[in-house]
Structure 1
Amino acid sequence: MTAPLALHPEVAEALHAGQPVVALESTIITHGMPYPQNVETAREVEAEVRAAGAVPATIAVMEGRIRVGLAEAELERLALAEEVMKLSRADLAVCLATGATGSTTVAATMIAARLAGIAVFATGGIGGAHRGAEESFDISADLHELAQTAVTVVSAGAKAILDLPKTFELLETLGVPVIAVGQDEIPAFWSRQSGLRAPIRLDSAEEIAAAHLMRARLGLPGGQLVTNPIPAEAEIPLAEIEAVVARAIATAEAQGVAAKAVTPFLLDLIFDLTDGRSLAANRALVLSNARLAASIARALTKG
C-alpha cells in the first residue's frame, strides 16, 4: 500500500525536477503560537525558504491525507481549527485512519518528509528529555525518530524547557550526529550558549549536506540534528531565561499539567513572563533555521 500523501502541485513539481525542498512542521501553527501570530509566522517562514532558493512544504494531516505543502486556504483553516491532534509517531496512523485533523511534531514531520522524498526539515527546537525524566520517563519521540529516519533537521537546539544535558546524552547514545553551526557550543533555543560543548562543529551548508550524503553512502540509519544559534540580536541570555523557565515549570507541576499539554502550557506561560520576548525570539530563530535549511537543500541538489 502507498502512504496517503497529498503533495501540493508546487512541491510535487519541485521534487520531480530535483529542486530543493524544505519540510516545515505545523505544531508551531496549532500549538506553538496564538492566532494570528501563528499563521503570520508560518507565512513568513515559507517566504524565507523561498527567498533562500527552495520550495517550502508545510506538513499537516487533513481529511485523511498527509498534506505536504499547504494552500493558503488550508493554512488559514489549520490556524483557526480547534481540537487539532498533536501528532507524533504513535498517533499519526490513527489520525489518518479516523479522518481527524492533526499538526505534525518533529517526529511526524520527519516521517512525512521521508515518505515524500524531502531530505531537509526546518523547525524551531526539538523535543527531548524533560526535567525530572529520570523519574517520569518523559522523553520525546523526536530523539528516537532522529535515530531512525534519514532527514537532516535544522533547529535552534532542544527547547530550553527541557533537560539539555540528558537530551544530548541520549542523542549520543542513539548515534545521532549533533552539529553546531559556526560555534563550539550547542545553542539553547532562545540563547546562543548552553554551556554544553558541541560534539561536532560545521561552518557551512555545504559541509552539512556532504555529511548527509555520506551517511546515505554508508547505509547509516537516522538523520542529523543541526543546531543553529539564534541571531544575536534576538536572543534572551541563558541566565535570564533559566530563571523564567524554572518558574514556569514550578507552576506547571503545581497545577498538575502533564504529557503533551506540558510544552504548550510552558511556552504560553513563558510568553507572559517575558512580556512577549520569547515569542519574538521564537520567530527570529525559526526564520534563521529556514534560511539555513534552504541552503542545505540547495547544496544537496548539487550533490
Structure 2
Amino acid sequence: MMASLPLVYSPEVDAALAAGKPVVALESTIVTHGMPYPDNVETARAVEAEIRSRGAVPATIAVLEGKIRVGLDAETLDRLGTMTGVMKLSRADLAFALATGRPGSTTVAATMICARLAGIDVFATGGIGGVHQGAEESFDVSADLEELGRTSVIVVAAGAKAILDLPKTLEVLETKGVPVVGYRTDEFPAFWSRGSGLKAPLRLDSASEIAAFQKAREMIGIEGGMLIANPVPETDEIPAVRMQGFIAASLASAKAAGISAKQVTPYLLADMFERTAGSSLKTNIALVMNNARLAADIAKALKA
C-alpha cells in the first residue's frame, strides 16, 4: 500500500522511519503563509534543529510536483519559502493539489492526514484552528477540529489561536471525542498567552504519561487525534489581558475589510503583528519552538 501512495521521503526521514526512530511532523504553512522571507525559512530551520537536538527527526511536509514531500532538504525549503501562488491545503483540497500538480503548504488538518499516511504519530504546530468568532452566523469552523476527531495523530500546540472563540472550540472538540490535555497546566492556553480562563479537560505532566495515554487509546481501539495543549513559556508570553484589546481591534478590521474563509487567519496574524509592534511574532516563534521540544520528547516516549 505504501508504495502506491504519492509520498516522497527525504533520506533523513526515510532512514529514521526504517530504523524505528522517533519522527515529528511539521506543517509548512508557517513557511508560505506565516511570515515573510527569510524569517519564514530561518524559523523552519530553527524548529527542525530544535527537534534534532532532542534526539528526534523533523519531517516538514508540503505538496510539490504532485507528491507529498515528507521532509524537505535545505534547497527545497528555501524554494518553498520564496514561492508565490502556493495553495494553503486542508482536507478539501489536498488531493486537488496532488492531481493538478499545484504547489501547496499543509495546514494542521492536511499535515495530520499526510503524517498518518507517512507513518508519523506526532505533529508539532503553533496553534490549531477552531470555531471563529461569529460562527453562529458565518458557520466558519476550521477543518482542524474535524481532523482531530478522525485522524490518529498527537498534535502538540499552544492551544487554539487566541483570535478564535475558545469556549466553542473546546465544546466542538469534546463533541468529537478529542482528548484535550493540558501539559503541566490545568488551564487551556490561549496561543500567545499561557491562560484563557478556561479549564483544560485533562492534565498530564510528562511525555511518558502522554505516550502511555495514547497507547491505552490504541489498545482499546479508540481512533482520532489527541491535542496536547502546551503553554508558551512564561518569559515569552503576552498576557491575555493585554491581548484582548488587540484581538478585538483586529477582528473588527477583518470584518470591515470583508475578509473570510481561509484568508481570515493569515490576515489576523499579520494584523496582530502590526498592532503589537512585532511582539506577537516573537511569541509565536517561541511557542512553536517550545511545542517542537515537547513533540520530540513524546515521539521518543512512544518508541520506549
Q: Which bracket does the TM-score occupy, shorter chain normalised?
A: over 0.9
Shift of 1:218: 1.1
* Residue 214 of structure 1, CA deviation: 1.2
Map 1:125-140 → 2, pairs under 5 A:
125-140=127-142
> Residues of 1 paired with 2:266 and 2:175: CA distance?
28
Secondary structure in 1 aligned to 2:256? helix
CA shift, 1:242, in A, is 1.1
1:275 Cα offset (Å): 0.3
Distance across 2 between alignment mates of 1:179 and 1:3: 32
Please list, as runs of the form range in 1=range in 2, the aligned pairs for 1:52-201 lying within 5 A after superposition: 52-201=54-203
Name the structure 2 match of 1:249.
Answer: 251
Cα distance in structure 1, aligned partners of 2:103 and 2:252:
32
Unaligned runs of 5+ in 2: none
Within the candidate set 273, 279, 300, 1:298 is matched to 300
* Cα separation, 2, equivalents of 1:185 and 1:42: 28
Runs of at least 5 residues in structure 1 that lack an aligned partner in the other structure: none
Amino acid at match of 2:204: L
Structure 1 residue 35: Cα displacement: 1.2
Aligned partner of 2:18 in structure 1 is: 16
Post-superposition Cα deviations, 1:166-205, rounded to whole Å, max 9, x if no partner, equal 0001000100000000011010000000000011000000
Report the 3-state secondary structure (helix = DSSP H, G, I; strand = E; otherwise coil) of the residue aligned with 1:180: strand
Residues 212 and 223 of structure 1 are in contact (CA less than 8 Å); yes or no, is this contact kept in structure 2? no
Q: Which residue of the other structure, out of 262, 265, 270, is the alignment partner of 2:264?
A: 262
Q: Matches of 2:170 and 2:28 in 1, distance apart? A: 24
- Counterparts of 1:284 and 1:301, CA distance in 2: 27
Paired with 2:294 and 2:244, the residues of 1 have a C-alpha distance of 27
State the distance in 1 between where 2:93 and 2:174 align.
26
TM-fit CA distance, 1:223: 1.0
Cα deviation digits, residues 79-135 of structure 1 (max 9, x gap): 000010000000000000000100000000000000000000000000000000111
C-alpha offsets along residues 116-167 of structure 1, whole Å, 9 cap, x if unaligned?
0000000000000000011111000000100100000000000001000000
SS at match of 1:103: strand
Per-residue CA distance 1:52-91 (angstroms, 9 max, x = gap): 1100000000000000000101000000000100000000
Partners of 1:49 and 1:290 within 8 A in 2:
yes
AA at the equivalent of 2:143:
A
SS at match of 2:287: helix
Residue matched to 1:202: 204
Judge which range, 213-222 or 47-56, deviates more.
Answer: 213-222
- Report the CA distance between 1:9 and its aligned residue: 1.0
Residue pair 1:146, 1:223 contacting (<8 A) in 2 also: yes
| TM-score using structure 2 length | 0.99
Q: Secondary structure at the match of 2:197?
A: coil
SS at the partner of 2:129?
coil
SS of the residue corresponding to residue 226 of structure 1 reads strand
TM-score normalised by structure 1 residue count = 0.99
* Matched residue type, 1:216: E
Measured in 1, the distance between the counterparts of 2:133 and 2:27 equals: 24
Q: Secondary structure at the match of 1:39?
A: helix
Shift of residue 215 of structure 1?
Answer: 1.1
RMSD, aligned α-carbons: 0.6
Deviation at 1:18, TM superposition (A): 0.6
Cα distance in 1 for partners of 2:217, 2:76 equals 35
Q: Following the alignment from structure 1 to structure 2, what is the Cα–Cα distance between the partners of residues 128 and 41?
A: 24
